[in-house]
Structure 1
Amino acid sequence: MDAEGLEGFRDFVDSRSSALLRTAVLLSGGDRHAGEDLLQNALAKAAGRWHRIDEPEAYVRQVLYRQQISRWRLKWPRREVSVAEPPERGAAPDDSAAAELRVVMRAALSRLTARQRTVLVLRYFEDLPEADVARLLGCSVGTVRSTTHRSLARLRSLAPELAALGPADVEQQSSRDYSPVEVRP
């Protein structure tokens, strides 16, 4: 890689690595170390092809998704990883509800299969349409829909306390008036 390419790669890593790491951690079920490994491998592949990549973030995300698919297809089970420090450090006292939500969500996501977790991350965290998720995962749109449906149902059964988080939102949606309105030019 030439000096200009190296500088461009460094700038890309500096500016986008935190967002890419969040995606990688979610794809790996909340395991920060596995997410870091996933991202490091994706960046290493991008570095080798840097001069040929038109859209670096799209390329790295594609590598992340495909590596995660390869990981879930492996035959041996995921091993437990011990860490010296808790993954979340010192949340503010008023942020306890958000911290609790993250803990509950992380625990529930880690109990989903890798495929279910990947579909949910792509659909709701990455906000990709079903067709794009299907293309990335190499399956049909119907498979994405059914996997999303089953994954959300399993998530609800694993963490029923998540249902209590948005009663105001549910109330707002149910009180909407959908009656026809006359529009005049």
Structure 2
Amino acid sequence: MNHHDGFREFVLARQQALMRAAYLLTGDAHLAEDLLQSVLIKVVGQWPKLSRNGNPEAYTRKALVNQYISWWRRPRPELSSADPPEHGASYDEAALDRIMLRQALAKLTPKQRAVIVLRFWEDLTETQTAETLGCSVGTVKSQTHHALTRLRTLAPELAHLLSDPEIMEAVR
């Protein structure tokens, strides 16, 4: 029996969700691929222990966030401009929202961005987010509040996305 049994199946089953989280954290497809690849290299080294008595997905998600946080001091590449099309042009409203949201997320601090990604895209509870980030639930609540307030300031045109009842409850 190979000590990596199950790792390939885990990666195949969870790759898209993990890649989505990495992309939302970094805001760049290439950086997301690098981030996920570096984390999976670490996870495969821990696989025998994780597959026996751990939660591989939670461990991988936490490693993803931790690796992203450790990259904070790295020089960041400039994000390409994705200006909205001219008013006369035909465009998809949802695609435009995604572009504007991605630009606004890129302006948050890394910790605020991590909290928003984990809470609202990964749909983790405040407790799960606190465990993933290694902080208190109170810190998650305050970071969520500050991040959503900043998003409203940075991108008021996205108010319809930020008016979700669950998001509104999180900032109260």
- Gaps of at least 5 residues in structure 1 are 87-93, 171-185
SS in 2 for 1:49: helix
Does 2:108 correspond to 1:112? yes
Tell me the CA shift for residue 56 of structure 1. 2.1
Aligned to 1:89: none
Q: How does 1:26-175 map to 2 (within 5 A)?
A: 26-28=24-26, 30-54=27-51, 55-72=55-72, 74=73, 76-80=74-78, 96-164=92-160
1:20 equivalent in structure 2: 18
Q: d(CA) in 1 for partners of 2:7 and 2:134? A: 29
Whole-angstrom CA distance in 2 between matches of 1:165 and 1:133:
21
The amino acid across from 1:39 in the alignment is: L
Partners of 1:25 and 1:32 within 8 A in 2: yes
Paired positions, count: 155
Q: Which runs of 5+ in 2 are unaligned?
A: 83-89, 166-172
CA distance in 2, matches of 1:10, 1:158: 41
Structure 2 length-normalised TM:
0.78
Q: Any idea what SS the aligned residue of 2:131 has?
A: helix
**TM-score computed with the length of structure 1 as normaliser:** 0.73
Question: Following the alignment from structure 2 to structure 1, what is the Cα–Cα distance between the partners of residues 20 and 156?
Answer: 24
What is the one-letter code of the residue matched to 2:132? L
- For the aligned residues, what is the CA RMSD? 2.7
Partners in 2 of 1:39 and 1:164 — Cα distance? 31
Q: Which has the larger radius of gyration?
A: 1
Report the Cα distance in structure 1 between the residues aligned to 2:123 and 2:143, rounded to whole angstroms: 16
Instruction: Give the deviation of 1:126 after TM superposition.
Output: 1.3
Question: 1:80 corresponds to which letter in structure 2?
Answer: E
| Structure 1 residue 51, shift from structure 2 partner | 1.6
1:59 Cα deviation from its structure 2 partner: 1.9
Contact 2:62 2:133 in 1 (8 A): no
